[in-house]
A and B are shown apart, each in its own frame.
Chain A
Amino acid sequence: MGKQVDIKLLESIVGKDNVSNNPAIRYVYGTDASVHQSMPDVVVQPRTIEHVQEIMRYANAELIPVIPRGAGSGMSGHTVPIDGGIILDMKRMNRILEIRPEDMYCRVEPGVVDDDLNRALKPYGMFYPPSPASSRIATIGGEIGNNASGIRSVKYGATRDYVLGMKLVLANGYLVNLGATTRVEAAGYQIHRLIVGSEGTLGIIVEATMKFIPLPKLRCLGMATFDRIEYAGDAIADIITTGAEPSMLELMDHIAIKAVNTTLNMGLPDVEAIVLFEADGKVKEAVDYEMQTMKSICEKHHGEVKAMSYDAQERTRIYAGRKKLFAALSRYKEGLACTALADDMAVPYSKMAECAKKIHEVAEKYGVIMTAYGHCGAGVMHTKILMDPTKKEQWEAAKHAVEEIYNYVHSVGGITSGEHGIAISKAPSWKKARKDLLPVMRTIKRALDPNNILNPHKLMDAPEDWLTATPLRYWVKA
């Protein structure tokens, strides 16, 4: 920690009502959707770019850590302030500044919630596609910070594909305009792209220019069941490699199916794997073609197609099990908590089924429960570790399980995080796999933030052991 934070000074910048060092507020802002916990010294809610600039000038001069925070829905401890300091709660900077349908872009403040942006775009027949599952609360600033993506990223890409430019406040308070409003720009370093996925370590996004695209007129969703997860894995790989264009391609393993059936009584077929496949577009013939292609591929790999529909209500019904999966996992068994660990690796398509099996094997070995599901069309495999979080030995087991799974993922050419980011809990494995990258990232970090005040101890600078990096947010008993 640097020096004592000067609350009065912060109040003079943003106003008394927008600063708090109340212990209860600090306690709440010390956690997010991860397993970590560590209190900031103060929480500030800036309203303007000038507020952010002045706060940064002060923090930089006094060497006080500053952690930008959107909804705090990061799963790896992104906004947990390891060293205390100032949490910049960006949620009050939430105005949609401009929507230009004629130029297909919008300018927004960083606290705008993804779903709110999509609601505003809908009357224009447009949408902003990379939305994560958390889009109802995730902010555009946080999505850029994490390079978020979601169920439709298989077709439409991730946040990085939609950021045209931004206004960024650097660690020393300097305001810079990055990128452009046009689709193309060939004018030196694409620094706005560097900020995507930077997890709040390089600057504070105070405005973003995002492109959007027309909403598809038609959507069709299908469900195929498989008796063996290998068959499902083969079908997924085949769908992708034949050039079919799914707008969603999701996998659920038997644990996910069981969770949904036993806790929510959803009546999903009792099989080893389910694949949900969707196509969208403007013309029915084209969508039909994609759906038939995917259906035939599923059948070729011993899948049974149980449902296929254009009807919105029917699609909701087909998707209900997947949608409710999180809730179901949280309720899998009394006393078990659904912890965000090893939650979003990505592996080559050909390794999807093998990865799922490896996850089950490791879980069994360490006495925890793990499921394998996810946006397999985009290569993302989600899992959660279900364990008794009050038991110390379960955490040790989880630590070994995480390590072993990542070792496997890296050995087959996969990566640590497909969408949720690295921050604290994924840093040890990621650092091990990307040794060559770390000095380059540190050089960039030093150039933009020489005093290391922006979200310090994350990514390449995170502690070597996630389990002891911060206190856990769970009440672990001896």
Chain B
Amino acid sequence: MDIQYLKAWEAELNTCIRCAYCFEGCPVFKQLGWEVDSARGKAVLTYGLLTGELEPSDYVVRKIYECSFCKDCTERCSANVAIPDILAAARADLVSAGFVYDEHRELLDKIKQTGNIFGKELTPPIREGETPILLGCRFLERSEDAQRYLEILEKIGIKPKVFDEICCGMPFGVLGYKDELIHHQQEFRKRLPADEFICLCTTCIFFIKKSYPELNPKYVIEVIRERLPNVNVKKLGLKVTYHDPCNLARGLGMVKEPRDILRMIGVEVVELPTKGKEAECCGGGGGLLVTNLELAEKIAERRLNEAIALGVDMLVTLCPTCELNLGNIAKRGDKIEVKNLLDLVWQALK
């Protein structure tokens, strides 16, 4: 196999001391239980691909894609090794070598055709305000929710400008289509009205901050937290648990902000056994929902059961993918409701 992208990670892979500290929180390892499923296992696999000691096979490809990009490994790592970035490089080399999942190709083609992951003609709820707002594919599709979230912004004194956005390009990067990503990024940039904007989606904001260093987006929660004390809010008197999305907590270090907001709107948080930067993943990231839905759902089920065990009847989160994956499991059990924190903010401002 021709190694192009992994080469750049050789020194990083040598930095890994193979201590196994990344066993502790890896959600995939917890489900599947073989060392090959852990972050260290994946570091070893990619090293094997890099050196040529390991032949790529369908099995190896599956293992490289069975990762939710939760970054728990990096967080706990003895040497801060960026396993998800290494896996993204390995995926890119595998794609170049012809190891392509039909489901991935289909998803990316949808983005190419329609600009969003759903492959649908979605009309954004256009607003001609001042501050550009990037909704992200998932909120673009949930247009009623998006309307409400825009109302929140209006109520806290922002004049949203909604534009004809396209996907931030995360799926290209995460699934290993680096060449296509470059092209897509140019198109994404073209549509942006300004370098400063507010982003509604946790995954978009994380990906944009990482992949478009020239841009200066703010995450919606930062803005709400800043401005909420200046407006009248209703205290909701709820007791919920809060699930930290990986991209927000580990990715951007935003652990306090959502909890502050919940406090401001009179919502008591009963914490899950793991929280903040140590929070367990819902299983929905890294393309796992497309690559291995069963695994993604098993991971979500584990997380949701922890929430149910707390005796609360609502789990709130911020990431629309967490919401989807945890929500799907919740609907089957009827024991707990999954909501976006923004919905509670809207309720408090109504």
User: How far apart are the CA atoms of A115 and B23 in the complex, in Å?
Assistant: 13
In whole angstroms, what is the CA distance A22 to B60 when docked? 10
Query: Please, which residues of chain B bring their CB within 8 A of the CB of A337?
Result: 14-15, 17
B79 touches A327 (CB 8 A): yes
What distance in Å separates the Cβ of B46 from its nearest Cβ neighbour in chain A?
11
Do residues A330 and B15 form an inter-chain contact, with CB atoms below 8 A? Answer: yes
Within 8 A of B (CB), among A213-246: none
- Please indicate which of the listed interface residues B44, B51, B60, B78 has the most CB atoms of chain A within 10 Å of its own CB: B78
Give min CB distance, B205 to chain A, whole Å: 26
Inter-chain CA distance A28–B78, complex, in Å, is 19
- A24: chain B residues at CB < 8 Å are 36, 45, 48, 54, 57, 59-60, 63
* Residue of chain B at shortest CB distance from A334: B11
A71 touches B23 (CB 8 A): yes
Given A24-B36, A29-B35, A327-B80: A71 in contact with B15 (beta carbons within 8 A): no
A474 close to chain B: CB less than 8 A: yes
B179 proximity list for chain A (CB < 8 A): none
**CA separation between A338 and B81, bound complex, in Å?**
13
Q: Is there contact, CB below 8 Å, between A73 and B60?
A: no
Q: How many angstroms between the C-alpha atoms of A335 and B19 in the bound complex?
A: 19
C-alpha spacing A286/B54, complex, angstroms: 58
> Is B253 an interface position by the 8 A CB rule?
no
- Tell me if A43 and B34 are in contact (CB < 8 A): yes
* B24 beta carbon closer than 8 Å to chain A: yes
* B20 at interface, CB cutoff 8 A: yes
User: A390 vs B7: C-alpha distance in the bound complex, in angstroms?
Assistant: 13
CA distance A390 to B15 in the complex (A): 12
Decide yes or no whether B245 CB sits under 8 A from chain A: no
A33 in contact (CB, < 8 A): yes
Q: Are the C-beta atoms of A33 and B45 separated by less than 8 Å?
A: no
- For B54, the chain A residues whose CB sits under 8 A away are 23-24, 27
Residues of A within 8 A of B44 (CB): 27-28, 31
Query: Is the contact region of chain A dominated by helix, strand, or loop, or is it mixed?
Result: loop
Nearest CB to that of A136 among chain B residues? Answer: B24
Count residues of chain A with CB under 8 A from any CB of chain B.
Answer: 38
Let me know if A331 is at the binding interface, CB within 8 A.
Answer: yes
**Interface flags, A435-478, vs B, CB<8A=1, else 0:** 00000000000000000000000000000000000000111000
- Residue in chain B with minimal CB distance to A22: B59
B contacts with A, residue count (CB < 8 A): 34
> How far is B59's CA from A338's CA once the two chains are assembled, in angstroms?
31
The answer to whether B79 and A32 have CB atoms under 8 Å apart is: no
Tell me whether A137 and B24 are in contact in the complex, defined as CB-CB below 8 angstroms, given that A24-B57, A327-B77 are known contacts: yes
> Does B103 belong to the interface (CB within 8 Å)?
no
Q: Which residues A76-93 have CB closer than 8 A to chain B?
A: 89, 91-92
Chain B residues within 8 Å of A137, by CB: 19-21, 23-24
**Which residue of the partner chain A has the closest CB to B81?**
A330
Q: Is the CB of A73 within 8 A of B19?
A: yes
- Asked if B18 CB lies within 8 Å of chain A CBs, one says yes
Closest chain B residue, CB of each to CB of A138: B20
CA distance A264 to B152 in the complex (A): 39
Contact assessment for A23 and B45 in the assembled complex, using a CB-CB cutoff below 8 Å: no
> What are the residues of chain B within 8 A of A421 when measuring CB–CB?
none
Bound: A22/B21 CA distance, A: 24
Asked if A25 is an interface residue, CB under 8 A from chain B, the answer is: yes
User: What is the minimal beta-carbon distance from B27 to any residue of chain A, in angstroms?
Assistant: 15
B226 touches A (CB below 8 Å): no
Q: Which of B19, B45, B47, B57 contacts A134 (CB 8 A)?
A: B19
Chain A residues with CB under 8 A of B63: 24
- Cα(A89)–Cα(B76), bound, Å: 23
Chain B residues within 8 Å of A335, by CB = 11
A279-297 near B? 1/0 per residue, CB < 8 Å: 0000000000000000000
A203 located at the interface, meaning its Cβ lies under 8 Å from any Cβ of chain B in the complex: no
Distance in angstroms from B235 CB to nearest chain A CB is 31
A326 contacts the other chain (CB 8 A): yes
B140 at the interface (CB under 8 A from A): no
Tell me the complex Cα distance, A29–B79, Å. Answer: 21
B44, B50, B54, most chain A CB atoms within 10 A = B44
Question: Which residues between 376 and 392 of chain A lie within 8 Å of chain B, taking CB atoms?
Answer: 389-390
A33 touches B19 (CB 8 A): yes
A12 to chain B, nearest CB (A): 20
Known: A28-B41, A28-B45. A23 touches B15 (CB 8 A): no
Contact with B along A17-39 (1 / 0, CB 8 A): 00010111101110111100000
Beta-carbon contacts under 8 Å, A332-359 to B: 334-335, 337-338, 340
Is there contact, CB below 8 Å, between A71 and B20? yes
Check if A45 is an interface residue, CB within 8 A of chain B: yes
* Cross-chain contact A338 with B24 (CB below 8 angstroms): no
The answer to whether B55 has its CB under 8 Å from any CB of chain A is: yes
Q: Which of A295-310 contact B (CB under 8 A)?
A: none
Which residues does chain A contribute within 8 Å of B21, judged by CB atoms? 134, 136-137
Pair B35/A28 contact, Cβ less than 8 Å: yes
Cβ–Cβ < 8 Å partners of A43 in chain B: 34
For residue A428, CB closer than 8 A to chain B, the reply is: no
Task: List the A side residues contacting B36 at CB < 8 Å.
Answer: 22, 24-25, 28
Cα–Cα, bound, A100→B18 (Å): 35
| B45, B53, B59 interface centre (most CB from chain A within 10 Å) | B53
Spell out B's residues near A (CB within 8 Å): 10-11, 14-15, 17-21, 23-24, 33-36, 41, 44-45, 47-48, 50-51, 53-55, 57, 59-60, 63, 76-80
Known: A71-B23, A327-B79. 9 other contacts (CB 8 A): A24-B60, A25-B36, A73-B20, A134-B20, A137-B20, A137-B23, A327-B80, A338-B17, A474-B14
6 contacts between A and B (CB under 8 A): A25-B35, A27-B48, A71-B20, A137-B23, A330-B17, A330-B78
